[in-house]
Structure 1
Amino acid sequence: MQKGIRLKGGIDDKSFANRLSHEPEIVELFLTEKDMERTPLIRERIREMRRRGIKAYMHHPSKYRGAYLDILSEEPEMITFYRESTAELLRICEEEDAKCVIHAHYVGMGNAPIDRESTIALREAIASIPGYDSGLLLWEDSTEGLFCYSNPYLIDDLIVPLNLPINVDVSHAFIGFRGDNDKLCEVLERTAPYARYYHLVDSMGQRHDSLPLGAGLIDWERVKPFVEGKDFIFEINLTGDHADCTPMVESAAFYAAVR
């Protein structure tokens, strides 16, 4: 069986069985708003992985009632869901030996300017989340907006002051810099002390395309030294019902061959 298999999938039977069939080292469970109504199943999946020696990660739901989550949202119901779901997943992490990836936002911050003042407002919102710095919640960057590495204040005025545990999505950073490998590697170097986990995905650098490794323009020979020794998954866009993760397995083979 191929080594270095690190996958993402849902908690539904078909997806979960497919991921386990590849004997992975790590599985990240992508959760939905609906999944938060069946947390016993989430726990069951994590326990099954633990029995098999698989490290368990979760991904906080990305949407609430069809809209992408935003920690600075002015909608009280969205903020309530954000905070309550985060608290519940943190409990699962503590009790089931797992970790959870979380976004401050996904597709920007509306009309919020990309400036130091707005970045500090975002920092304060993150710091108000219980357990934000526990190391069980890992904060992921977006392709645009305040929590994107194209924001020149993100590292110095948010990540460093909070000593924030982060998940670096290599493709998101690459897209944020419109396909600049030099700037991507600068970010990987600067965030190395805070990065606990990585999403490895290729991209052409212009939009959120989530390509298999080798199908885009990311220079993986330059990226790999920053990732070595840390946890990561291959987060590749899948077709159909997302049950077949072959592009992730193929990406693992590509990555293993990178020298």
Structure 2
Amino acid sequence: MNLVRLKCALEPRQLVDRLRYQPEIVEIQLFENDMYRPERIIRVIRMLKKRGIRVYLHHPMRWRGRYLDILSEDPKRRDFYDWSCSILAELCKKEQVKCVVHAHYANTECSRPGFFWLGKKLRKRIERIREEAGDWFLWENTTKGLFSGENPSFIQELVKPLELPLCLDISHSFISLEGDNEKLQQRLAEASPFIQYYHVVDSMGAGHDSLPLGKGKVEWAGVLPFLEGRDYIFEIGLENVLDCTEMVQSAKYLNQLRAATLTSFHGS
């Protein structure tokens, strides 16, 4: 089957499961402890590349159990953010792979009420990280706060001035826009010049649910044109991380939708 694009951690059993499906792309979710063993990350990247698989990395989400935020009020958490970004920037340049990075997550400092005043400060911090990482980092949107669709100036004041390369998570955008498919397509069109990579995942639009395609309320026929010619993975929330069947089923869903769209086009 075409366009099998999957996600996993460095854990060997997860890798074995994903490789059964001969994926075109694998995104590796990194964790705090992985950062202290960069040689292990490099070994896995090289193993996947030898199999002809394109590799993306994902910056750790947490430090000591707490979600990261580029503007964290905790100096140690902020130091880990900067240090881990520095390690990954060097690694990405060396291995010629890109890494997905969150400026912040929902319910961290950048998503508190009245967050808009932090916009200039956030932009300066991103600029500082980019001085080292360049365009090897792809910045991912979240569901709430400054770096989300909840912020109406997200593209115009943060992304566009920096010409910031994005990883756009479809479900995150859908949730931040309160499940509005028309607004989702408008946001995709607005952000399209900056999007290099997508997380393709469904949602009911009310909260972070990470559903397989077709199980939520995203209208995928309207999203499909934005995905053509772009890299992406199916970032489905798995009950069992050793079984990526729902990711593969989502790839099948999208392939069937693409085939139906082509049939309809040629038949018209």
* Number of the residue aligned with 1:148: 148
In 2, Cα distance between equivalents of 1:132 and 1:109: 24
Kindly indicate whether residue 204 of structure 2 is the aligned counterpart of residue 210 of structure 1.
Answer: no
SS of match in other structure, 1:61:
coil
One-letter identity of the residue aligned with 1:17: V
Q: 8 Å contact 1:119–1:154 — kept in the other structure?
A: no
| Number of residue-to-residue matches in the alignment | 256
Q: 8 Å contact 1:131–1:137 — kept in the other structure?
A: no
In 2, Cα distance between equivalents of 1:130 and 1:150: 24
One-letter identity of the residue aligned with 1:191: A
SS of match in other structure, 2:48:
helix
In 1, Cα distance between equivalents of 2:130 and 2:148: 23
Kindly indicate whether residue 1 of structure 2 is the aligned counterpart of residue 14 of structure 1.
Answer: no
SS of match in other structure, 2:233:
strand
Q: 8 Å contact 2:5–2:24 — kept in the other structure?
A: yes
* Number of the residue aligned with 1:47: 46
What is the Cα-based RMSD across aligned positions, in Å?
A: 1.2
Unaligned stretches of 5+ residues in structure 1 = none
149-158 or 57-66, larger mean C-alpha shift: 149-158
Q: 8 Å contact 1:169–1:200 — kept in the other structure?
A: yes
Q: Compute the TM-score of the two structures, normalised by the length of structure 2.
A: 0.93
One-letter identity of the residue aligned with 1:38: R
Deviation digits for residues 70-90 of structure 1 (CA, Å, limit 9, x no counterpart): 001111111111011111111
Q: 8 Å contact 2:29–2:59 — kept in the other structure?
A: yes
* Number of the residue aligned with 1:25: 24
* Number of the residue aligned with 1:64: 63
* Number of the residue aligned with 1:161: 161
SS of match in other structure, 2:246:
helix
Q: 8 Å contact 2:234–2:247 — kept in the other structure?
A: yes
For residues 183-194 of structure 1, what are the structure 2 equivalents within 5 Å?
A: 183-194=183-194
For residues 76-155 of structure 1, what are the structure 2 equivalents within 5 Å?
A: 76-110=75-109, 111=112, 113-115=114-116, 117-131=117-131, 134-155=134-155
In 1, Cα distance between equivalents of 2:154 and 2:2: 35
SS of match in other structure, 1:174:
helix
In 1, Cα distance between equivalents of 2:122 and 2:211: 30
Q: 8 Å contact 1:103–1:139 — kept in the other structure?
A: yes
27-36 or 118-127, larger mean C-alpha shift: 118-127
Q: 8 Å contact 2:97–2:136 — kept in the other structure?
A: yes
In 2, Cα distance between equivalents of 1:131 and 1:254: 40
1:133 to 1:48, Cα distance in 2 relative to 1, 3 A: closer
In 2, Cα distance between equivalents of 1:12 and 1:148: 30
Residue 133 (structure 1) shift: 6.8
Q: 8 Å contact 1:26–1:54 — kept in the other structure?
A: yes
Q: 8 Å contact 1:72–1:122 — kept in the other structure?
A: yes
Q: 8 Å contact 1:36–1:85 — kept in the other structure?
A: yes
In 2, Cα distance between equivalents of 1:132 and 1:181: 37
Q: Compute the TM-score of the two structures, normalised by the length of structure 1.
A: 0.96
Identity over aligned pairs, percent? 45
In 2, Cα distance between equivalents of 1:89 and 1:135: 12
In 2, Cα distance between equivalents of 1:251 and 1:136: 27
* Number of the residue aligned with 1:172: 172
Q: Which has the higher helix share?
A: 2
Deviation digits for residues 206-255 of structure 1 (CA, Å, limit 9, x no counterpart): 00000000000000000010111010000000013x11110000000001
1:232 to 1:131, Cα distance in 2 relative to 1, 3 A: farther
Residue 124 (structure 1) shift: 1.2
SS of match in other structure, 1:179:
coil
**Where do 4+ consecutive residues of structure 1 move more than 6 Å?**
none
Q: 8 Å contact 1:10–1:31 — kept in the other structure?
A: yes
In 2, Cα distance between equivalents of 1:148 and 1:9: 24
* Number of the residue aligned with 2:266: none
* Number of the residue aligned with 2:264: none
In 1, Cα distance between equivalents of 2:192 and 2:76: 35
Q: 8 Å contact 1:204–1:216 — kept in the other structure?
A: yes
* Number of the residue aligned with 1:74: 73
